[in-house]
């Protein structure tokens, strides 16, 4: 998880705050930007993976909002997945950096600003262009805050509470941290894939007369998930367990990483290694000298494309 906070001038870039989750090889990222009206701002919330699936984008840019903007004005778009607290801190950060539209830091201003974010994220909270008052040079924040104050004056605290409650309810962080309930999809997946540790008796019964083979993932299974993929080390205790396991069952590590890389982490010659998503499979070596024994290579369809020593491989 990386966080980058950049502050730039008003020449068209706007301030940017970026929250990324990903690895060196493919990035899943969430990005939140506070941009200006020169067409450089934008908001994108993406979750992607190496296989190009599961990508979703939450873009909260509103055409009406753009019409609000005079040459010097700013618009704000936010990742709707941000929690309430993150949104408030984003706006406070932004105001500190620009020294514009700074409202004394108190609860009321925080709520006002948070609601401003909600307004930017939800086009339905904007009035239509026809209803808009003429725009004087100044910040879009100011415009939103003005509207907000009007709304507050008209509708009072009930509306504020409703918006804040609604933002809290839609905040994934809030939902995750306080609501342990699982979605229907998640619970049905878990029912279909129960933990083996809770099913040992059933597994023992089902495996009578059969051979058990262990297939283990590496990242996040044998090693913790860490920021730098090159430092995803396996603990000695885990190595000892894997070694013991391999005494009882044929044991394979299946990974998207290249086989050599996984081997360099695990360093157990007695295991099977299926690297590069199964395109490169090697069985246990017979002994130390046998480590590169061609016979232990079980499946390596890409080998015919190797050119000399330069190999194309997954990281």
Ligand X SMILES: O=P(O)(O)OC[C@H]1O[C@H](O[C@H]2O[C@H](CO)[C@@H](O)[C@H](O)[C@H]2O)[C@H](O)[C@@H](O)[C@@H]1O
Residues that bind ligand X (CB under 6 A): 22-23, 25, 50, 217-219, 225-227, 229, 232, 255-257, 315
Residue 44 · residue 59 · CB < 8 Å: yes
Q: Assign residue 221 a region (left: φ > 0; alpha: ψ between -120 and 50; beta: otherwise).
A: alpha
Q: Compare residues 77 and 271 and give the one whose CB is closer to ligand X.
A: 271
Query: β-strands 297-299, 280-282: how paired?
Result: antiparallel
**Least separation, in Å, of the C-beta of 232 and ligand X?**
4
**Least separation, in Å, of the C-beta of 236 and ligand X?**
18
**Least separation, in Å, of the C-beta of 260 and ligand X?**
13
**Least separation, in Å, of the C-beta of 22 and ligand X?**
6
**Least separation, in Å, of the C-beta of 200 and ligand X?**
24
Q: Compare residues 13 and 23 and give the one whose CB is closer to ligand X.
A: 23
Cα Rg, the chain, nearest whole Å: 27
Q: Compare residues 163 and 218 and give the one whose CB is closer to ligand X.
A: 218
**Alpha-carbon span 299 to 183, nearest angstrom:** 40
How far does CA 253 lie from the centroid of its chain?
Answer: 25
Q: Compare residues 231 and 244 and give the one whose CB is closer to ligand X.
A: 231
- Contacts for 207 with CB less than 8 Å, ≥ 6 apart: none
Helix, strand, coil percent values for the chain (each to nearest 5): 45, 15, 40
Quick one: tokens of 242? 């894997």
DSSP 270: T
**Alpha-carbon span 215 to 271, nearest angstrom:** 10
What's the chain's length in residues?
Answer: 315
**Least separation, in Å, of the C-beta of 179 and ligand X?**
25
Q: Compare residues 7 and 229 and give the one whose CB is closer to ligand X.
A: 229
Q: Compare residues 217 and 290 and give the one whose CB is closer to ligand X.
A: 217
State the CB neighbour count (10 A cutoff) for residue 187. Answer: 11
């Amino acid at each position: 998880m990386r966080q980058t906070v950049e502050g730039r001038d008003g020449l068209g870039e706007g301030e940017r705050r970026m929250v990324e989750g990903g690895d060196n090889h493919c990035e899943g990222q969430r990005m939140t930007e506070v941009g200006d009206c020169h067409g450089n701002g934008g908001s994108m919330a993406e979750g992607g993976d190496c296989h190009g699936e599961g990508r979703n984008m939450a873009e909260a840019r509103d055409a009406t909002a753009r019409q609000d903007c005079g040459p010097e004005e700013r618009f704000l778009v936010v990742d709707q997945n941000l929690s309430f607290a993150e949104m408030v801190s984003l706006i406070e950060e932004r105001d500190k950096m620009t020294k514009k539209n700074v409202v004394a830091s108190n609860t009321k201003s925080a709520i006002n600003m948070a609601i401003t974010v909600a307004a930017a994220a939800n086009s339905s909270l904007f009035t239509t262009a026809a209803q808009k008052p003429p725009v004087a040079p100044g910040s879009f924040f100011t415009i939103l805050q003005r509207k907000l104050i009007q709304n507050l004056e008209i509708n009072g605290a009930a509306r504020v509470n409703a918006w804040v409650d609604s933002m809290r309810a839609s905040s994934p962080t809030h939902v995750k941290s306080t609501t342990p309930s699982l979605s229907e999809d998640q619970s049905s997946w878990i029912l279909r894939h129960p933990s083996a540790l809770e099913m040992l008796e059933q597994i023992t019964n089902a495996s009578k007369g059969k051979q058990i083979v262990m297939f283990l993932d590496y990242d996040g299974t044998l090693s913790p998930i860490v920021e730098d993929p090159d430092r995803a080390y396996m603990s000695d205790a885990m190595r000892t367990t894997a070694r013991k396991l391999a005494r009882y069952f044929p044991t394979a590590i299946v990974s998207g990483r290249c086989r050599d890389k996984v081997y360099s982490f695990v360093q157990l010659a007695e295991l099977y290694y299926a690297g590069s998503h199964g395109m490169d499979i090697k069985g246990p070596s017979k002994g130390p000298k046998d480590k590169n024994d061609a016979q232990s290579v079980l499946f390596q369809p890409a080998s015919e494309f190797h050119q000399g020593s330069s190999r194309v491989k997954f990281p």
